[in-house]
Structure 1
Amino acid sequence: MLNGYDELRQIDVTPYCEERDGIKYLNWAKCIDLLHENGAEKVYFEPIPDDKTGSSLRMTECAFSDKSSNTNRCYETRIKVVIDDNEYIMQSPVLNGQNPVKDNSMNQLRVWNSMCRSFVKCVAIHTGLGFNMWLKSEMQPFQNAIPEVDKKPTRAVIDTIKNLCKKHNINSEGWLASNQRTWNTLTASEAGNMLATIKAKYGDD
């Protein structure tokens, strides 16, 4: 029988981690090994194929193009994790370090890495093994300011977003619709997030 959450959380997994691009990764095989060492009898994960395509890779229907005409979508994988009598579902983005993977660099290894990282994260969430490692990487400083009622974005901000979307062939209406927003219901902070996303992705000043 697998040891309890609190006990598994106390295990220091950092000696078993590899570092890539400044981020520590626990190997999926070592994760399984540690679970067996701590009482688990059955541990595995398997992909859950997309219903439409039958592929392990899931993607949005809307494609984006950067200034070099490279296209990409929002790519994710979904897996089923089995630990003894428990089953968990985990869906995660396909990333290259902390960056989204674009079409011209998408391959089976990217998909496999996404599922492996998803497995390790799912194990941490549900069993406690490796959770402290994730806590350090995910934790952000608290904001002490009292939140204010969000205002509407200015016309200049909306025009800037529309122009940048047109410049980079981004379907701004589709983007808004996918977030259940229109130009009239968009808030100032949401508009700021849209601008920040575009600028981070395409390097616009």
Structure 2
Amino acid sequence: MLKPYDELVKVNVLPYCAEREGFMYLNWAKCMELLRENGAEKVYFELCQNERTGNSLFCSDQTFQDKNGNINQCYETRIKVCIDDQVYYMQSPVMNGKNPVKANSMNQARVWASACRSFVKCVAINTGLGFNLWVKEENMDYVPVEDGPATESQKATLIEICSKHGINIDYWCKREGTTLDALTGSEAGRMLLALKTKYGDD
């Protein structure tokens, strides 16, 4: 039987992690192994099929334009995670570092990487194993570090979360005395932090 959350959250997973882009990442296979070492008898995850398209990608209807004028959408993967008799679902964006993967660079490897990352995060959220790895990253995601133009990633995330919760992003920007195109990094950071606080979106 898997150990409870308050025990698993104390497991030090850092010796099994590798650093990438300033953050520590736990490999999905090692995550499975650690779960089994801590009492789990059955652990697996699988990609969910998008019934509308028949593939493993989920895509928002909202589009965004990058700095080169290319029109893109936000791609996500959804996985089913089974740990003994518990079943969890996790949906996450397909990212290349901190940037959303665009249609012209999408491939199976990036879809698989998104699914693996979702698995480790889903395990952390629901069991506590490796949870502390995400604290630094989540703080970095929503704290503005400079007051230059907002990144395409920030804008895409704002559009996606606002669309999900029925928020008119253009009206919100206008109320703040700006436009989506003119957003600075700090303004986008504050808006993302407000959304994070209210809705808890990833």
Flag whether TM exceeds 0.5 (same fold). yes
Question: Per the alignment, in what secondary structure is the counterpart of residue 73 of structure 1?
Answer: strand
1:203 alignment partner in structure 2: none
Q: Which runs of structure 2 are paired with 1:108-187 in the superposition (5 Å)? A: 108-139=108-139, 179-181=166-168
Q: Which has the larger radius of gyration?
A: 1
- Check whether the contact 2:170–2:179 (CA below 8 A) recurs between aligned residues: no
Q: 1:183 to 1:120 in 2, by over 3 A?
A: closer
- Check whether the contact 1:71–1:104 (CA below 8 A) recurs between aligned residues: no
Question: Per the alignment, in what secondary structure is the counterpart of residue 68 of structure 2?
Answer: coil
Identity of paired residues, percent? 56
Structure 1 residue 196 corresponds to structure 2 residue 191: no
Q: After the TM superposition, which of the residue ranges 67-76 and 41-50 deviates more from structure 2?
A: 67-76
Q: Which runs of structure 2 are paired with 1:74-93 in the superposition (5 Å)? A: 74-93=74-93
Q: After the TM superposition, which of the residue ranges 185-194 and 27-36 deviates more from structure 2?
A: 185-194
Between the aligned partners of 2:137 and 2:131, the Cα distance in structure 1 is 10
2:32 alignment partner in structure 1: 32
Aligned residue identity for 1:188? R
Question: Per the alignment, in what secondary structure is the counterpart of residue 25 of structure 2?
Answer: strand
Deviation track 1:103-143 (CA, whole Å, cap 9, x = no partner) reads: 22111111111110000000000100000111232236x99
| Structure 2: 5+ residue stretches without partners | 144-160, 188-202
Aligned residue identity for 2:175? A
- Check whether the contact 2:58–2:75 (CA below 8 A) recurs between aligned residues: yes
| Structure 1: 5+ residue stretches without partners | 144-174, 201-205
Between the aligned partners of 1:3 and 1:190, the Cα distance in structure 2 is 51
Question: Per the alignment, in what secondary structure is the counterpart of residue 53 of structure 1?
Answer: coil
- Check whether the contact 1:71–1:103 (CA below 8 A) recurs between aligned residues: no
Q: CA deviation at 1:23?
A: 2.0
Q: After the TM superposition, which of the residue ranges 37-46 and 20-29 deviates more from structure 2?
A: 20-29
Instruction: Give the TM-score normalised by structure 2.
Output: 0.72
- Check whether the contact 2:12–2:130 (CA below 8 A) recurs between aligned residues: yes
- Check whether the contact 2:25–2:133 (CA below 8 A) recurs between aligned residues: no
Between the aligned partners of 2:162 and 2:35, the Cα distance in structure 1 is 43
- Check whether the contact 2:56–2:78 (CA below 8 A) recurs between aligned residues: yes
Question: Per the alignment, in what secondary structure is the counterpart of residue 132 of structure 2?
Answer: helix
Question: Per the alignment, in what secondary structure is the counterpart of residue 60 of structure 1?
Answer: strand
- Check whether the contact 1:2–1:39 (CA below 8 A) recurs between aligned residues: yes
Between the aligned partners of 1:187 and 1:137, the Cα distance in structure 2 is 30
Aligned residue identity for 1:6? D
CA RMSD of aligned residues (A): 3.2
Between the aligned partners of 2:110 and 2:66, the Cα distance in structure 1 is 20
Q: CA deviation at 1:194?
A: 6.1
Deviation track 1:126-179 (CA, whole Å, cap 9, x = no partner) reads: 100000111232236x99xxxxxxxxxxxxxxxxxxxxxxxxxxxxxxx98774
- Check whether the contact 1:76–1:92 (CA below 8 A) recurs between aligned residues: yes
- Check whether the contact 1:28–1:116 (CA below 8 A) recurs between aligned residues: yes
Instruction: Give the TM-score normalised by structure 1.
Output: 0.71
Aligned residue identity for 1:113? A
Between the aligned partners of 1:193 and 1:183, the Cα distance in structure 2 is 6
Question: Per the alignment, in what secondary structure is the counterpart of residue 122 of structure 1?
Answer: helix
- Check whether the contact 1:72–1:101 (CA below 8 A) recurs between aligned residues: no
Q: CA deviation at 1:42?
A: 0.3
